[in-house]
Homo-oligomer: A and B are copies of this chain.
Amino acid sequence: MANERIGIWLIGALGGIGTTASVGLAALHRKLIGEQGLVSALPRFKPLQMADWSSFVVGGHEIRESNYATEARQLFEKSNVFSEQLLREVQPSLDEFQSNVRPGTLLNVGTTIESLAGTAALALKNERPAAAIERLTADLQDFKSRNQLSHVIVANVASTEPPVDPAARQYDWKSLSKKLDSDPQSPVPASSLYAIAAMQSGFDHVNFTPSIGSDLPALEELALERNVLHVGRDGKTGETLMKAVLAPMFSARNLEVMSWVGHNIFGNMDGKVLDDPINKANKVRSKDHLLTEILGYKPSTLVTIEYVEDMADWKTAWDHIHFRGFLNTQMTLQFTWQGCDSLLAAPLVLDLVRFTEREHRRGTSGILRHLSSFFKSPMGADIPPQFHKQYDLLEDWADEVAGG
């Protein structure tokens, strides 16, 4: 392993998560920080001989006109994270990563995301789907060859797209492929085009967003055909993680959850995009189904996600859980989660890449079910909704890999 170099290709490379993952990886290269927040760094997973942090090189697609130095500086100033000194020290790595960033595609991203695009991405706005896939694929392969990478893992950390037309689920790979070749309108959104480009290049795909990405029958087929791994959707970082942890407690104690209300406020770019109700629909849906699955009945629920600019990257969630216990007694649990969104998400993205890379070495393909604890809406059949049961899948996998 020691001498191999592995690529992380970020979709939405310069967003809050992409920037934080890059800053963090650069800091890990230089051992400037500890490994807090990194699941793959837990003693539990030491025996697995995971790839060294120093093995990874970052590149990516991005539709905005910006660069890592600027984005990192903004996060620092608005959200009071990182430090000037750290930013100075990682600057050379960020410059190196920056040289690997290429324009993304705007096909089917919706008007809100489109409004953020820079000239390079806008110039490609009228690309046909086939041309887009070809271009994205060429970018990936160029990244690999220029950096002498043994393997690349593509991770989508871009803003949430509008929900996809359910018709997209009806294609098999052959018919979708044909449609993409012939039609000037893409039947699937950008997130899926990126996934196709990755898979066709033989690269694994991690979807950290609520967008559809590879979560389509046609792409599951493609993954198996090309012998690649994929996993998603929607990283579980804050309030939903809490739900997945707390709801089983109410269930185990036979305490009837009458209502679970969750209000989220934050002010980063992701929040701005979610201020568009079409994009938000995708997100709220992903946060809400969980409770019913865990509890076995549908309590009254309410989830809001609101953009409040001055909160910057600090996502604050207030949850109010009203429950009924013995002799009809009504009680309440409230919690306030004050987490920095990108700082919670970025290490999980690095973990997902690292766990995926480890499994890639085992030579399997298809959905990575054992990584479901990282997601709000994990792909794959029969995934238990309880966090601890999902985490058991990860530990069981680790035992198997370590044992093998």
Whether, in the assembled complex, A344 has its beta carbon less than 8 Å from a beta carbon of chain B, the answer is yes
Size class of the contact patch on chain A: 35 or more
B388 x A326 contact (CB < 8 A)? no
Q: In the complex, what distance in Å separates the CA atom of A263 from the CA atom of B320?
A: 11
B252 touches A326 (CB 8 A): no
Q: Is the CB of A311 within 8 A of B387?
A: no
Centre residue among A36, A85, A255, A386 by max chain B CB count within 10 A: A36
Q: Mark A304-336, 1 if CB is under 8 A from B, else 0.
A: 101011110000101010101111111111111
Cross-chain contact of A388 among B34, B248, B328, B331 (Cβ < 8 A): B248
A254 CB contacts on chain B under 8 angstroms: 35-39, 41-42, 347
Query: Which of B84, B85, B324 interacts with A36 by CB under 8 Å?
Result: B324
B256 and A326 within 8 A (CB): no
Closest CB in chain B relative to A38 CB, distance in Å? 6
Query: Does A116 interact with chain B (Cβ within 8 Å)?
Result: no
Copies of this chain, tallied across the complex: 4
Check if A327 sits within 8 Å of B253, measured CB to CB.
no
Q: A38-B254, A84-B84, A333-B338 are in contact. Are A325 and B344 (CB under 8 A)?
A: yes
A155 smallest CB distance to B (angstroms): 16
Which residue from B256, B261, B265 sits with its C-beta under 8 Å from A261?
B265
- Give the residue of B86, B252, B304, B335 whose beta carbon is less than 8 angstroms from that of A334: B335
Instruction: Choose among B37, B316, B326 the residue that contacts A320 (Cβ–Cβ < 8 A).
Output: B316
Interface segment, one of A19-27, A144-152, A173-181: A19-27
- Which residues from chain B contact A27 at a C-beta distance below 8 Å? 327
Asked whether A258 is an interface residue with its Cβ less than 8 Å from the other chain, the reply is: yes
A112 part of interface (Cβ distance < 8 Å):
no
From A75-83, A215-223, A225-233, A362-370, the one touching the partner chain is: A75-83
Residues of B within 8 A of A198 (CB): none
Answer yes or no: A402 CB below 8 A from chain B CBs.
no
Chain B residues whose CB sits within 8 angstroms of the CB of A83 once the complex forms? 84
- Min CB distance A82 to B, Å, is 6
Complex contacts, A246 vs chain B, CB 8 Å: 245-246
Q: Indicate which residue in B24, B33, B255, B373 contacts A252 across the interface (CB closer than 8 Å).
A: B373
* A117 CB-CB contact with B under 8 Å: no
- B335-A335 in contact (CB<8A): yes
Question: Is A202's CB within 8 Å of the partner chain B?
Answer: no
Closest CB of chain B to A238's CB: distance in Å?
Answer: 9
Which B residues touch A258, using CB under 8 A? 310
**Inter-chain contacts of A123 with B (CB < 8 A):** none
Known: A245-B245, A249-B387. 16 other contacts (CB 8 A): A37-B327, A37-B329, A81-B327, A83-B84, A263-B304, A304-B304, A310-B322, A318-B318, A325-B339, A325-B344, A326-B344, A329-B340, A331-B339, A331-B343, A333-B339, A336-B336
